[in-house]
Amino acid sequence: MSTTDIPRRAGVPARRERRRSRAVSRGDGRAAALFLAPWFAGLILITAGPMVASLYLSFTDYDLLTPPEWIGPENYTRMFADPRFLNALQVTFTYVLVSVPIQLALSLALALVLDKGLRALPFYRSVYYLPSLLGGSVAVAILWRQVFGADGLLNQFLAVFGIEGQGWVSHPDYALGTLVVLNVWTFGSPMVIFLAGLRQIPQMYYEAASIDGAGRVRKFVTITIPLLSPIVFFNLVLQIIGSFQSFTQAYVVSGGTGGPADSTMFYTLYLYLKGFGSLDMGYASAMAWFLLLIIGGMTAVNFLASKYWVFYDD
Amino acid sequence: MTELTTATRLPDDGTRLRARLAQAAGGLPEPSARQRRARRRAAVTGLFRHILLIAFGLIMLYPLLWMLASSLKPSELIFREPGLIPTEIDLSNYTDGWNALVNPFSTYLLNSALVVLGSVIGNLVACSMAAYAFARLEFRGRNLWFAIMLMSIMLPIHVVIVPQYVLFSELQWINTFLPLIVPKFLATDAFFIFLMVQFFRGIPKELDEAARLDGCGHVAIYLRIMLPLALPALATTAIFTFIWTWNDFFSQLIFLTRPDMYTVPVALAAFRDSTGETSWGSLFAMSIVSLIPVFLVFLFGQKYLVKGIATTGIK
């Protein structure tokens, strides 16, 4: 558009004006096609196409070597008769439902302590945040196996107090617990989000409440909690989705087996073993789609429940 | 005036309010004995808080420090002394670990570096392009496409991994880095599109309008205005891509099965499986080596990391 157009535009009839604006949007449309071309290709080739393909494969018997054979919903019915699958489901739900609330409570508590205007805040924030950057790595999973091993760091500490520990990672009752601890250990990233959220609460509210005689507890319950609840919700949704897909930790700590006695058989680990271990790709695809359903379902439940406890200030 | 009457009714807050009023009037209030006492009490609880926070931080980091210390000890001492300071420094774990697998560890470091480099460039180029379209261009169905993009962020990789594997093996891409890099050039890490859209929206529109009046097209506006102004968002993207790709295990495990193509995480896992529980010293040494790049990026990129998490809530 050039500057000389502007005075003329005021006089043009409405229809021409409309055509003009459509032309403008078509011009943008061409640029948009250019800028979105890589994303669009990715959406079709890497995301949406494979999604549809895996939905199809989930109704077939497929081992990569021979063409897929349509078997209807058999993979899904097999899943619910497969004790190892049901166990994996239970292990993963236990892991998520135990570790996520502990992790969020801890991160919120520390964010509240750190938010008291400490000058050393950036230092503490970094120290607490570092584990969440490293927590997903193979190296830390290797370390974890050692810390909770029979002659590992934890048992060395317990020995100081005369307690004789055991091989935590090799005991079916405790192995999952060590993975829960590992997930809790990465509380730093929700903590940083909480800290940012606490900064958003106007100081004015607290001052007004003090003037009205509210104590610290009262202020926390009536100001901090409601105004922070959207952030709690956000962290909750994100951590549930993320934790449900945990793979590396279980794979490395159990040596790729999900053991001992399938006690660390995460959903995604079982999916991997089925698909890429025994080349039961149809079954793995069915598991993947069921995973999508679970995650979608949990997120939907979260959103529905949020009506009752999340406070939106508008 | 109403504030003052409230203050007289509530003597506790009255002193604070009066102090504030005095400050506002320009003079600092004389500290009363009571205020001095309160200040001392605050200093004591503050110190107490610092001690607790430092102790907690030490517990958090102790396993990492212990791994570092253990990697410098002769293997037989690792399980005998839980302390952090090794009585004798022994670098043989590092030389042993470096050569423990078929290829020297430098091969795996180089492989990881190549995958990371490709992923960072791909994400920077493709995600910023898509973000420009979503933030600045008018086109039909923009809101719908934007919603699809947001939903794709939450899509578990497991739903697409099997057909992707089939596709990439048809293309003969298994045991190359292409399955790990090419998708980044197609903006499949939609998280970063979202991050950059948020950032682009904060750049004043007047700037591109002025540029358009000067005859700039969209390509020029994107290259000469948006990208230079969005450097912080690009830095955040680069740093997170680096860390995520460096740590990524699942897709590298699937697409790289030939030992000379292993990246660091896959090599470490193979190392652990092949030596079992026997050579913890060299396993720790290589684990430390694998964590150093992430640690360095964390050290120098903290500002962008914290900002990135705070604005989008990414890990």
- The Cα A293–Cα A287 span in angstroms is 10
Digitized pLDDT (tens) for each residue of chain A, 314 residues in all: 333 344 444 444 444 444 444 444 455 888 999 999 999 999 999 999 999 999 999 999 999 889 999 999 999 999 999 999 999 999 999 999 999 999 999 999 999 988 876 778 888 888 999 999 998 899 999 999 989 988 888 888 888 888 888 889 888 999 999 999 999 999 999 999 999 889 888 889 999 999 998 888 899 999 999 999 999 999 999 999 999 999 999 999 998 888 788 999 999 999 999 999 999 999 999 999 999 999 999 999 999 999 888 887 65
- Closest partner CB to B294 (pick from A54, A133, A295): A133
Same domain assignment for residues A141 and A92: yes
pLDDT digits (tens, 9 = 90+) for B253-272: 999 999 999 999 999 999 98
Contact criterion met (CB below 8 Å) for A266 and A92: yes
Same domain assignment for residues A32 and A122: no
- Closest partner CB to A211 (pick from B13, B161, B187): B13
Query: Quick check: A6 contacting B, CB < 8 Å?
Result: no
Same domain assignment for residues A227 and A114: yes
**Nearest-Cα residue of chain A relative to residue B49:** A113
Judging contacts by C-beta atoms under 8 Å, the chain A residues touching residue B188 are 42, 46-47
| Burial label, B191 (beta-carbon count in 10 A; 0-12, 13-18, 19+) | buried
Inspect the interface and report whether the beta carbons of A292 and B156 lie closer than 8 Å: yes
Reply yes or no on whether the pLDDT at B162 is more than 90: yes
Residue A61, helix vs strand vs coil: strand
Element (H, E) at A96: helix A83-114
Tokens at residue A154, please?
């934890």
Among A residues 58-77, those touching chain B with beta carbons less than 8 Å apart: 64
Tell me the nearest-neighbour CA distance from B69 into chain A, angstroms: 12
Same domain assignment for residues A209 and A165: yes
Q: Which pLDDT score is estimated for A175? A: 93
Same domain assignment for residues A19 and A82: no
Judging contacts by C-beta atoms under 8 Å, the chain A residues touching residue B306 are 125, 129, 192
Query: Quick check: A170 contacting B, CB < 8 Å?
Result: no
Element (H, E) at A60: strand A60-61
pLDDT digits (tens, 9 = 90+) for B241-254: 999 999 999 999 99
State how far Cα B57 lies from the chain centre: 19
Q: Quickly count: other Cβ atoms within 10 Å of residue A120's Cβ.
A: 12
Q: What mean pLDDT do residues B153-178 have?
A: 94
Q: Quickly count: other Cβ atoms within 10 Å of residue A127's Cβ.
A: 18
Asked, for residue A62, whether it belongs to a domain, the answer is no
Judging contacts by C-beta atoms under 8 Å, the chain B residues touching residue A128 are 57, 60
Asked, for residue A101, whether it belongs to a domain, the answer is yes
Inspect the interface and report whether the beta carbons of B167 and A271 lie closer than 8 Å: no
Inspect the interface and report whether the beta carbons of A36 and B130 lie closer than 8 Å: yes
Asked, for residue A154, whether it belongs to a domain, the answer is yes
Query: Quick check: A208 contacting B, CB < 8 Å?
Result: no
Cα–Cα distances (Å) from B46 to A116, A117, A256, B206, B258, in that order, read 10, 10, 47, 48, 56
pLDDT digits (tens, 9 = 90+) for B31-88: 677 788 888 887 888 888 889 999 999 999 999 999 999 898 887 777 776 677 777 7
Inspect the interface and report whether the beta carbons of B291 and A193 lie closer than 8 Å: no
* The total number of structural domains that make up chain A: 2
ipTM comes to 0.86
Asked, for residue A22, whether it belongs to a domain, the answer is yes
- The Cα B187–Cα B119 span in angstroms is 10
Asked, for residue A97, whether it belongs to a domain, the answer is yes
Same domain assignment for residues A92 and A171: yes
Sign of the CA dihedral with A206 first, then A210, A215, and A218 last: negative
Same domain assignment for residues A35 and A131: no
Amino acid (one-letter) located at B54:
I
Asked, for residue A68, whether it belongs to a domain, the answer is no
- The Cα B261–Cα B309 span in angstroms is 32
Residue A69, helix vs strand vs coil: strand
Among A residues 133-152, those touching chain B with beta carbons less than 8 Å apart: 133-134, 136-140, 142-147, 149, 151-152
Same domain assignment for residues A37 and A125: no
Judging contacts by C-beta atoms under 8 Å, the chain B residues touching residue A50 are 159-164, 167
Same domain assignment for residues A103 and A48: no
Partnered with residue A69 across adjacent β-strands are: A61
Tell me the nearest-neighbour CA distance from B224 into chain A, angstroms: 15
Give me the CATH number covering residue A277.
1.10.3720.10
Cis before A50? omega within 30: no
Contact criterion met (CB below 8 Å) for A35 and B133: yes
Same domain assignment for residues A171 and A255: yes
Same domain assignment for residues A153 and A201: yes
- Range with the lowest mean pLDDT among A5-9, B94-98, B113-117? A5-9
Domain that holds residue A107: 74-309
Inspect the interface and report whether the beta carbons of A127 and B290 lie closer than 8 Å: no
Tokens at residue A314, please?
């508008």
Residue B18's contacts (CB-CB under 8 Å, 6 or more residues apart) are B7, B29
Confidence of residue B22 (pLDDT cuts 50, 70, 90): very low
Supply angle C-alpha B278, B281, B285, rounded to 5: 135
Round the average pLDDT of chain B to a whole number and report it.
85
Nearest to A195 by CA among A116, A135, A123: A116
Same domain assignment for residues A109 and A46: no
Nearest to A58 by CA among B160, B70, B99: B160
Judging contacts by C-beta atoms under 8 Å, the chain B residues touching residue A281 are 162
Asked, for residue A117, whether it belongs to a domain, the answer is yes
Asked, for residue A64, whether it belongs to a domain, the answer is no
